[in-house]
Amino acid sequence: MRRVRLIACIPLLMAATHVAGNSEGGMQDGFAPWPTEWFEPAPTASQKGITRFTQSPYLEGRDLPPVEDRLPDDPVVIQPLGETGTYGGTARITTNEWLTFPNVEAPMTISADMRTILPNLAESWEVSPDGKVVTLHLRPGIRWSDGTPLTSDDYLFSFNDLWLNSEYSPVTDPAIEGAIGVRHDDLTFSYVFAKPNPLFVYRLAQYGNFMVLPKHHYRHFHPTYTNREVLIKRISDLGFISWMAFIEASRRGRLEQSAEAPTLDAHRIVQRDLTRILYERNPYYFKVDPAGQQLPYIDRVDSEIVDSKEVITTMASTGQLDFSAYELRTQDIPLLKLGERGGGIKVHVWTRLHSSDIVIQMNFNAKDPRLAELYWDFRFRKALSIAIDREEMNELIYFGRGTPRQVTAHPSSRFYEPRFATAHTGFDPDEARRLLDELALRDVTGDGLREYPDGSALTITVEYMDWETPKAINMELVESYWRAVGIDLRQKLVDSSLQAARALAGEMQMTLWHADRVTDILFPQSPDFWVPRRTGADMSSWPEWSVWYQTEGRLGIEPPSAMRQLQLWGDELRTTMDEARRVEVGKNILRSNAENIWVIGTVGLAPHPVVVSSRMRGIPGNGIWGWDNRWTLSYHPSTWYFEGGRSR
């Protein structure tokens, strides 16, 4: 069984030499120097001595104010990678890239180091000494794409009228429960929390584009500002059953009416139908380049709606897309590299930030008490971990360019310790068999698979969605490794709705996710792979202990002392104002996983293909790909351009 599955991987292995030897800026070369400006607060035009501003010819002849009147009082200056770009062209993408390209904007942004928060729409901010008040100061003169000024009211509308509105958000995020947004003036406002929430500034940087909406537009679809009877008819005429559903779909660009909503991003939607979304440059975008040219460089974006990953891969490999990455997979690299030979595309190989491409999650609260008891025994968890040949997985799946490791922090993180990554990763199937023998799990029937001590069948079903990272091919190998030591693992692929339903209900014996949220941006906010504090499609290790935590003991099952300690550390990690203590507590959490193997990792920091047009410039040859840093955010897509400009 194992031999057949490994043979299926051989074509990938055969292609490895070509991929590793020819990928521009590949991981083996280390990261090429990025502009120092990507690690520092962006300067303003006055700081750079820029007094003259120009715009794209695309905007000429339109009924618009002069460019200097459309820019903020002191525009933000963004340093491109390499030379200053040129205007023009239409970028072809698929709608799956809607958060990776074009640019999205938040009050703060993320440095390329994935550790530092930088000013963006907000020019400054403060956190009160007790961590309960976060105050933002917006840059003066920033405007929405329709020319309306950005004000505090736009942020407070999203926070008070949506996030804290029980109709729109029936379940309040515990981190903001009891909070309120407070207006000070047009450009200054505060988030006031009932409990210390100093890491909210990281959320504003990473998730902040979801935290602001143009109040002057959406007030017409909200019952606080529009008569409810009028609103019901308006929403019904649009074909929606509720104002909440309309706003949620509109803000995510899923409606024809999304083209009517102003944006702060580099490009605005101008047309949306069943097959594509068309964007054009935002004439009021607040950033310029060092020459005083208003960004973005690219005038238009044509985003085609394509559901099939295989079709997207084919389109990318044949030059039908100018940027594609989100739906591409490591195992696509050989095919994409073949497409590169035609000269129309360039295949960059970035590094996924995922600590491990799969997070194997045992359900410690499994409905089968025998299985739950087995999971709780460290010997069983260790046996499963050391039965995995991570080095072979790295060669067969990742061309030898990933890193065998457990689920822990990213190497860029101040919480990272190398020993946390290597704990119990050595391949030792003989020791795994010895541990399983010690647990009295023996092959009674003679089929090579172990039974429980009473002779009953021991089978484990792992259910998961095969997306974002190569989960199915990983689990094919894991299944073969575990069967080699006598563990009968069965696999079941599920869709997103079933994954969520069964995970929340605690029905899964075992499941998988991908280990993002491992940088200093997200790990302190969401240590969910190591701490029983949340339930969800991505987290099903301990649903009953998490419910107990969420309901303060009213529901669920009280966790063992080791788990309770993790919960207390998780609380302190998010709330302490002492940075040294935060690092200490974060390392305590990760050390606990290293010593106890609460979740199992395989290979991480893996290669990820990023396909761009051979004429597109400004995109780094090697970057870090993942949710924590919003994929491309730190690399400024507004500065990407076509060589010599280009029209379609």
Is residue 259 within 8 Å of 279, Cβ to Cβ? no
Domain 354-604 annotated CATH 3.10.105.10: yes
Which residue, 283, 280, 284, 325, is CA-closest to 298?
A: 280
Residue 59 structure tokens? 């905007």
How many angstroms separate the CA atoms of 366 and 376, rounded?
11
Digit-coded pLDDT (tens) for 404-434:
999 999 999 999 999 999 999 999 999 999 9
Domain-wise residue ranges, the chain: 1-102+265-349+613-648, 354-604
The predicted pLDDT at position 8 comes to 34
Beta strands in 236-388 (DSSP E): 267-272, 276-281, 287-288, 300-304, 323-324, 345-352, 359-362
334 CB contacts (<8 Å, ≥6 apart)?
11, 12, 15, 18, 19
Which residue, 302, 284, 304, 306, is CA-closest to 294?
A: 284
The predicted pLDDT at position 25 comes to 29
Sign of CA dihedral 593, 596, 600, 606: positive
pLDDT along the chain (648 residues), means of 10: 33 32 31 84 98 98 97 98 96 92 93 97 98 98 98 98 95 88 98 97 96 97 97 95 95 89 96 94 98 98 95 97 97 96 95 98 98 98 98 97 98 98 98 98 97 97 96 98 98 96 96 98 97 94 97 96 98 97 98 98 98 97 96 97 74
Residue 22 structure tokens? 């020819």
How many angstroms separate the CA atoms of 617 and 89, rounded?
12
Digit-coded pLDDT (tens) for 242-286:
999 999 999 988 888 989 999 999 999 999 999 999 999 999 999
Q: pTM to 2 decimals?
A: 0.93
Burial of 261 (0-12, 13-18, 19+ CB in 10 A): buried
How many angstroms separate the CA atoms of 639 and 269, rounded?
19
Pairing state between β 641-642 and 616-617: antiparallel
Give the alpha-carbon dihedral of 20, 25, 30, 34, to 10 degrees: -170
Find tokens 């904007």 and name the residue.
Answer: 105
Bond preceding residue 296 cis, omega within 30 of 0: yes
The predicted pLDDT at position 150 comes to 98
